[in-house]
Chain A
């Protein structure tokens, strides 16, 4: 936020992570002192299958610069098949957003509880990508 005051763009990313894998990987990244940029605000869901694509729309329409979705690797869902359904929903909402030039602001990754490194590097990568893209065109608009 210090940098924002200097006039440099700092992206705001909303992250939806599942309780069992990606949230745990964020925990692991923290306890193992991995460094990654603080741009992502995490919202924990019990499963990526809980992600209603409306959450993604709402985040973007309220000015979030990016949306991250994390879940267990396919086949390793705590609820057996929650992330299979999530994958279809994410693919559909990204296809719609692609037509409107917004798909590259939405990214999902399968990160297991033991992949703290992967979580940190995905966060780094995504923050850099969105920073390069610039702010969400809807940011600050009266909608």
Chain B
């Protein structure tokens, strides 16, 4: 990969440069709001403070913020790898125009829910290493469940990767021609940089697997019913999900969201129906709809007002489907989504 090594303080200059040289028309980037971290859309280079790019806090999935933007103005998205992966899936789903998006992924150490981060900002700081994560864990301050089972948290997707290095250094590397021309436009001298980090990735994947195995399993339909008992079908998990993108959701239409007479008809058919209705149907349908594209960001679990740990359901189940298709969502923008393609001979052992 072609890239350049910088002191961490110089990263702001790169981001400002992208706006000043009009490589992008705006940047969507994390910034500090009081003790918290939130996204902002910036067009004025002077507004870039930079703090918060590496901050281990998760509020929303940034890909969801630009979902359905098919404008021609160029948007730079600076976000965690899971968010960039989701953006790449949205490109495949025609919800983002790839030519008008410059995707910049940033190394992620694993994140805290943003309230947790805000409460412990002094201890956590702008970046966290694994020793510190362990130390905080013993005090009861834990990473999000989705981050504990994530094995793809090092920046290696999008057009540009921002890689954390020892001693307050970063490597900014171009992953695609678009990324390379963006960095060239800033007048940077690019040289070959190795950002592959195979060993570190294997270590992260191992730990993630162990963490996933230690999560309570939902092994039967009755267990799922119990798991979703508190669900109020508010559909927040759908609204915050970056890859749930239907303009009109089935569960906002009469069949999926029956009211009055329709509800009564259902009651006549079944004898009795639970209210709110369709908990199981809603979640099973949703898990199928995102089965190929779920990036496991855990936004659904964060958004659940009833605090149902949806991370134990969505990423865990969708992973099985993705493994079957040997598909990693967000890995390659050219790779078609499994449901949009087929092979003539396949899957016969999965049908009966």
Contact = CB atoms under 8 A, between A and B. Distances in A.
Contacts of A58: 281
A88 B316 CA distance: 19
B344 A92 contact: no
Interface string A5-31: 000000000000000000000000000
Interface residues of B, number: 42
A61 B281 contact: yes
Most A CB within 10 A of own CB, among B219, B220, B342:
B342
Nearest to B316: A99
A50 interface: no
A54 B250 contact: yes
B contact face: mostly helix, strand, loop, or mixed: helix
A100 B274 contact: no
Q: Interface centre among A89, A96, A99, by most B CB within 10 Å?
A: A99
Contacts of A89: 339
Interface stretch (B37-45, B66-74, B134-142, B283-291): B283-291
Interface stretch (B19-27, B113-121, B298-306, B317-325): B317-325
B339 A91 contact: no
A135 to B, nearest CB: 13
Interface residues of A, number: 35
Interface in A81-125: 81, 84-85, 87-96, 98-102, 107-109
A109 B326 CA distance: 24
A92 B324 contact: yes
Nearest to B350: A91
Interface of B: 218-225, 250, 269-270, 272-274, 277-281, 284-285, 287-288, 291-292, 316-317, 320-321, 324-325, 338-339, 342-347, 350-352
Given A85-B339, A100-B219, A142-B272, 12 more contacts: A53-B288, A81-B342, A88-B325, A88-B338, A89-B339, A91-B347, A92-B321, A96-B291, A99-B219, A100-B220, A109-B351, A143-B273
5 contacts: A96-B284, A99-B320, A101-B219, A142-B273, A143-B281
Give 7 nearest A-B pairs by CB, closest first: A84-B342, A91-B350, A91-B347, A108-B351, A100-B221, A101-B220, A107-B352
